[in-house]
Amino acid sequence: MVFLEFLRSSDENPNEYILASAIRACTQLGGGGQGAQVHGFVVKTGFCQDVYVGTSLIDFYAKNGDMDEARMAFDGLVEKTAVTWTTIITGHVKSGRSEVSLQLFNQMRETHVAPDKYVLSSVMSACSTLEFLEGGKQIHAYVLRRGTEIDVSVTNVLIDFYAKCGKVNTARNLFDKVVFKNIISWTTIIAGYMQNSFNLEATVLFSEMAKLGWKPDGFACASVLTSCGSLEALENGRQVYAYTIKATLSMTIL
């Protein structure tokens, strides 16, 4: 590793930026052992409380599945940026510790650091996983109280959350209010309809999406075709199947 070669050949100690870069390299390469060596050097040289180094360590351990070490690195930081909070909260969500991620979000709200779209998306995903309706509604209310424009990625997660909690009408209202929808917006609401057995609504919305020029991906097509088991949705199912075949042929020709 270049960092270890640097230590052997140089009389100078690396600064916080070099250390953070070295840790990020270990994260990208999946070098658990080398990352631990860099962490040992960080401890020895007193950089544990540096926010750049600490955040890189949190990310390294989280992506290697060691949330206990990630939490220790997080707790050791005096200063925490929005990126620091995002990293630890997202790490807990991805490791299946959704309840802890919500606790961390509440701690974050007590600081001067405002949650960004990445944090909000992560905690809403946690609420979706837990089907924690009241918690998700509180976070939604918090987002609205901020009075800032909601990013489409956050709205998409909100749509998914309400659909998974069985609040399909709320999910649809959110979808309808999105001015600049993306393909994820469409596939999320369609999947939400499908999950709640709104088969006809799912296929009708799929057809509307196609007519507006959106190009549904394989996930959207599979979701809608799964929804077409009922007799009333059968004709729409045939249309979706025809669209899928046509799209596949077009992709093959291209």
Distance CA 159, CA 175 (A): 7
More confident residue, 5 or 119: 119
57: pLDDT confidence band, cut at 50, 70 and 90?
very high
Alpha-helical segments (H) within the chain: 2-9, 16-29, 32-45, 51-63, 67-75, 82-94, 98-109, 117-130, 133-146, 152-164, 168-177, 183-195, 199-211, 218-227, 234-253
Predicted local confidence at residue 202, as pLDDT? 85
Q: Is the pLDDT of residue 72 over 80?
A: yes
What's the angle, vertex CA 51, arms to CA 46 and CA 56, rounded to 5? 95
112: pLDDT confidence band, cut at 50, 70 and 90?
confident
Which tokens is 242 given?
A: 């025809």
Taken in order 206, 236, 169, 121, is the CA torsion positive or negative? negative
Q: What ranges do the domains of the chain cover?
A: 1-79, 93-178, 181-254
Contact 57, 23 (CB under 8 A): yes
Predicted local confidence at residue 253, as pLDDT? 38
Distance CA 180, CA 150 (A): 11
pLDDT digit string, tens, across residues 197-247: 888 888 888 888 888 888 776 666 666 666 555 545 555 556 555 655 555
Predicted local confidence at residue 56, as pLDDT? 94
pLDDT digit string, tens, across residues 123-136: 898 888 888 888 89
Predicted local confidence at residue 217, as pLDDT? 67
pTM of the predicted protein model: 0.74
Predicted local confidence at residue 42, as pLDDT? 86
